[in-house]
Amino acid sequence: MVAVVSPLLAPGSDVLDERQRGVVERVSAAERAHILALPSDDPLDAKRRARVQATGPELFGQPEAVRATLTRNDVALESVATALSDGIRRVLLVGAGDSLAVVTAARYALESMLEVPCEPVQSLEFAYYQAGLIDASTAVITLSSSGETTRTVEALLVAQNRNAYTVAVTNTSGSTLETEADVALLVEATRVGWPTQSSTAALALLLELAVRVGRRRGVAGAAALRSALDALPDTMRTVLGRLDGPIAAIAAREVTAPTVLFSGGGPNVAAAVVGAAKVKECTPLRATEIQVEEYHHYNSQKAEEPLFLLVPSGPSVPRAVDTGTDAHRWGGRLYVVTTEGERAFDALDPEAVLEIPAVPESLSPLLYLLPAQLVGYHLGLAGFAAAEAASDD
Ligand SMILES: O=P(O)(O)OC[C@H]1O[C@](O)(CO)[C@@H](O)[C@@H]1O
């Protein structure tokens, strides 16, 4: 018997029409091949090494990718901003993997400017569980770098059937996501290495969309976000230059860590997710993210594990201070990435404090994703160096 690859294709399911079922069958076959081609956990895996090496130039090229993406989408952004400002009562932000992290990061900027709920939802959860309540007053913004991730395509098709306003954000012109959506925003970024600029350029697009909606709607605070966002590509360059060396040194110390932990709150829960994702992509190490409050409801950290707190000045700081205190109580190591001049973490005596220029918290993930990516990338490089040295002995 042929396995059913999706409940939307099960005999008797009437969620999708015949044409849409054909679309899902096509993308799911291609996706399986992509997943089977991922690297192994061999510490010297050549496929992983090639992707880690290709990640470097893409990671450091992010300010340019952000600028190019914003320029390319000037007209399309206006059209989406107009549509969102006109009768939309709810926005669902759908993606998987890094793409889910990116929409999570954009949520608060969008909500503050649109003044309606903007909910990040994982693609499968949306496609199979949450589509029932949506209608023409809902916008469904789907993000997929490839434009072919099956669950995200399914989410878009389900939204299409419920007459929602559908937006695709994708790197891939001509992809299924772009073809099926009412309107597409195209990300100008490469993804030969592990995803870096494809994520930050997509995030910049969503933040730009938020600012344009806010200005159109006359929201107080939109002008301040406008000028802060305009300055961000330059600040990204500053942050990359400033943090690269210190994070390379931290990675050399942490290369044998049993598990690498990342924590954040608010929009920077997304930075923690991206940190763990980059470690899992660039190394064979275990890595996990935990929100600053959730950390305290379990024995979340073990001795000898490093914790990266990615917490700019803002409402998450007091709980993040507790988190940092407990990192040491459990015998772990603590690295803090926070706003320049933030003194709340000083008394914890972290192994390192890495400072990032102040920006509005709702825009800050565009900066806090950078140290998260750098940790994964440098642990990847350090891991290959260590494995090579071991194999020479
Ligand atoms: O953005 P996409 O293309 O939908 O991919 C989602 C996730 O799946 C992966 O491609 C891995 O399968 C990740 O690189 C990415 O974060």
For ligand 1, is residue 96 a contact (CB within 6 Å)?
yes
β-sheet bridge partners, residue 259: 286
Mutating to test ligand 1, I would choose from 99, 151, 173, 273 the residue with most ligand atoms within 8 A of its C-beta, which is: 99
Of 75, 324, 109, the C-alpha closest to 186 is 75
Per residue in 142-152, is it b (16+ CB within 10 Å) or e — as a string?
bbbbbbbbbbb
- Cα(324) to centroid of ligand 1, in Å? 31
Mean pLDDT along residues 308-328: 98
- Residue minimizing CA distance to atom 14 of ligand 1: 195
pLDDT at 235 over 60: yes
Structural domain boundaries in the chain: 12-35+42-220, 232-388
Mean pLDDT along residues 1-14: 82
Give the three-state DSSP class for 262: strand
- Provide the residue type at 361 as one letter: E
Residue with token string 């709810």:
90
Pairing status of strand 306-310 against strand 352-356? unpaired
Q: Let me know: does 180 contact 166? Beta carbons within 8 Å.
A: yes
Mutating to test ligand 1, I would choose from 38, 124, 145, 186 the residue with most ligand atoms within 8 A of its C-beta, which is: 145
What does the alpha-carbon distance between residue 47 and residue 40 come to, in Å, rounded to a whole number? 8
Q: Let me know: does 374 contact 59? Beta carbons within 8 Å.
A: yes
Res. 33 pLDDT band, cuts 50 70 90 = confident
Residue 36 structure tokens: 């089977």
- Cα(181) to centroid of ligand 1, in Å? 19
Res. 3 pLDDT band, cuts 50 70 90 = low
Res. 35 pLDDT band, cuts 50 70 90 = confident
Report CA Rg, the chain: 21
Q: Let me know: does 128 contact 149? Beta carbons within 8 Å.
A: no
Backbone dihedral angles phi then psi of residue 198, each to the nearest 5 degrees: -65, -30
What does the alpha-carbon distance between residue 236 and residue 238 come to, in Å, rounded to a whole number? 5
- Cα(151) to centroid of ligand 1, in Å? 11
Side-chain-side CA neighbours of residue 180 (13 Å)? 31
Strand arrangement, sheet containing 183-186: 118-122, 90-95, 138-143, 165-170, 183-186
pLDDT at 115 over 50: yes
Of 193, 152, 188, the C-alpha closest to 171 is 188
pLDDT at 2 over 60: no
Residue with token string 């709920």:
117
Average pLDDT value over all residues in the chain: 96
Backbone dihedral angles phi then psi of residue 85, each to the nearest 5 degrees: -80, -5
For ligand 1, is residue 154 a contact (CB within 6 Å)?
no
Res. 131 pLDDT band, cuts 50 70 90 = confident
The atom number, within ligand 1, closest to the CA of 97 reads: 16
The answer to whether the 12-35+42-220 and 232-388 domains have the same CATH topology is yes
Mutating to test ligand 1, I would choose from 58, 98, 369, 373 the residue with most ligand atoms within 8 A of its C-beta, which is: 98
Tens of pLDDT along 134-167? 999 999 999 999 999 999 999 999 999 999 999 9
Tens of pLDDT along 181-213? 999 999 999 999 999 999 999 999 999 999 999
β-sheet bridge partners, residue 141: 93, 167
Mean pLDDT along residues 176-181: 98
pLDDT at 71 over 80: yes
Looking at the domain that runs over 12-35+42-220, which CATH code has it been given?
3.40.50.10490
Eight-state DSSP code of residue 353 = E
The atom number, within ligand 1, closest to the CA of 195 reads: 14
Element (DSSP H or E) covering residue 25: helix 18-36
What does the alpha-carbon distance between residue 14 and residue 209 come to, in Å, rounded to a whole number? 34
For ligand 1, is residue 142 a contact (CB within 6 Å)?
no
What does the alpha-carbon distance between residue 324 and residue 331 come to, in Å, rounded to a whole number? 11
- Residue minimizing CA distance to atom 9 of ligand 1: 97
Element (DSSP H or E) covering residue 208: helix 197-217
Side-chain-side CA neighbours of residue 249 (13 Å)? 8
The whole-number pLDDT of residue 262 equals 99
**ipTM field:** 0.96
Side-chain-side CA neighbours of residue 206 (13 Å)? 38
Mean pLDDT along residues 60-83: 98
Residue 264: left if φ>0, alpha if ψ -120 to 50, beta else—which one? beta
The atom number, within ligand 1, closest to the CA of 147 reads: 3
Looking at the domain that runs over 232-388, which CATH code has it been given?
3.40.50.10490
